[in-house]
Amino acid sequence: MRGVGDVFKALADPTRRTILDELTDRDGQTLFEICARLASKHGLGSSRQAISQHLDLLEAAGLVETRREGRYKFHYINTTPLEPIVRRWLTKGPT
Amino acid sequence: MRGVGDVFKALADPTRRTILDELTDRDGQTLFEICARLASKHGLGSSRQAISQHLDLLEAAGLVETRREGRYKFHYINTTPLEPIVRRWLTKGPT
DNA sequence: ACGTTATGCAAGTGACTGCTTGCCTGTCAA
DNA sequence: TTGACAGGCAAGCAGTCACTTGCATAACGT
């Protein structure tokens, strides 16, 4: 369904927000790359399956898009769903 | 603590987002007013205690501020914590 | 003073969430 | 073809969350 609520739910978890930080820093990473960089740069000891489930959720919310190439799967951040989210309460007058 | 995670957690629930919608429409409502308008305008049948707990959470996140006056407690929306939240991933270059 | 109104506090419950565990599929190099 | 590598699927478990239930506090009208 990829409704608005999915975006908020995806952003509710700190690990998922850190994943978005990582993809902002270097877009198009594989699952193993993300795991390695989360561990080294952010000090997160999450397992591969945990990160994979987080990526599934981010993809379901439309915040991450994927591209398969052989046995690799690259993950790209998509900030499009983010803009209208908060603007909902910020805009008092007509845009 | 009122950290960044509290704001995301507060926004994760659809009822709390509807409460923010209501306060955007009419600021400074009491608990009973919010309950009544949530039921009539938004079709939500949440109990008073449920709404009260949601308001506590929104206040802990800094999204709602309160002012007591006699036996009434008025709730005001505060959008200040919202701006830097999403901008975190939107800004690629210097603002 | 007494009852009503508006709100607060806290324990208990069912559902959801994040994570683990174990096994399976598909791809590439030798 | 065999083994290693990248990723996927699904069941189970512990913690959290939203909600209810029941009682308590405080302010106001009469």
Per the domain annotation, does A20 fall within a domain?
A: yes
Closest protein residue to C21 (Cα–C1'): A49
Strand C contacted by B67 CB (< 7 A)? no
**The predicted structure's pLDDT at residue A95:** 53
Helix axes A48-60, A14-25, angle to 10 degrees: 80
* pLDDT score at B2: 80
Q: What pLDDT sits at residue B21?
A: 98
For residue A86, give both structure tokens: 């908060």
Examine residue A94 and state whether it is found in any structural domain, yes or no: no
Task: Tell whether B22 is covered by a domain.
Answer: yes
Domain count, chain A: 1
In a domain, B61, yes or no: yes
Tens of pLDDT along B53-94?
999 999 999 999 999 999 999 999 999 999 999 999 997 655
- Measuring from the CA of residue B72 to each C1' atom, give the nucleotide at the shortest distance: C6
**If we measure between CA atoms, which residue out of B1, B29, B16 comes closest to residue B57?**
B16
Identify the band that residue A94 occupies on the pLDDT scale cut at 50, 70 and 90: low
Q: Which pLDDT band, with edges at 50, 70 and 90, does A91 fall under?
A: confident
A32-66 pLDDT, tens digit per residue, is: 999 999 999 999 989 999 999 999 999 999 999 99
In-domain check, residue B68: yes
Per-residue pLDDT tens for B32-56?
999 999 999 999 989 999 999 999 9
Residue range A65-81: mean pLDDT, rounded: 97
Taking the C-alpha atoms of A19, B85, B13 and A14 in order, what is their torsion angle to the nearest 10 degrees? 30
Interface test mutation site (partner A, options B1, B4, B7, B8, max chain A beta carbons within 10 A) = B8
Dist CA A55 CA A11 (whole Å):
12
Query: Hey, are the CB atoms on B90 and A77 less than 8 Å from each other?
Result: no
Q: CATH number, domain at A11?
A: 1.10.10.10
- Residue A80 belongs to domain spanning: 4-87
Q: What is the reported pLDDT for A1?
A: 59
Question: Does B70 reside within a domain?
Answer: yes
Greatest distance between any 2 Cα atoms in chain B: 50
Token output for A75: 């993950």
**Cα angle vertex A59, ends B42, A6, to 5°?**
10
Task: Establish if A92 belongs to a structural domain.
Answer: no
**Token reading at A68:** 């398969």
Q: Which residues of A touch B77 (CB under 8 A)?
A: 89
Q: Are B61 and B10 in contact (CB under 8 A)?
A: yes
Write the DSSP assignment of A24-79 as a string of letters: HHS-SB-HHHHHHHHHHHH-----HHHHHHHHHHHHHTTSEEEEEETTEEEEEE--
pLDDT in the model for residue B94:
58
Q: Which residues of B touch A20 (CB under 8 A)?
A: 89
Contact A8 B8 (CB under 8 A): yes
Distance A66 CA to D3 C1' (A): 28
* % pLDDT > 90, chain A: 92
CB A10 within 8 A of CB A62: no
Judged against a pLDDT cut of 90, whether residue A85 lies above it is answered with: yes
Q: What is the mean pLDDT of chain B?
A: 94
Instruction: Tell me the pLDDT of chain A averaged across its residues.
Output: 94
Query: Which amino acid would we find at residue A9?
Result: K
Over residues A63-86, mean pLDDT: 96
Facing residue for B20 by CB, picked from A77, A83, A89: A89
- Decide if B31 is inside a domain: yes
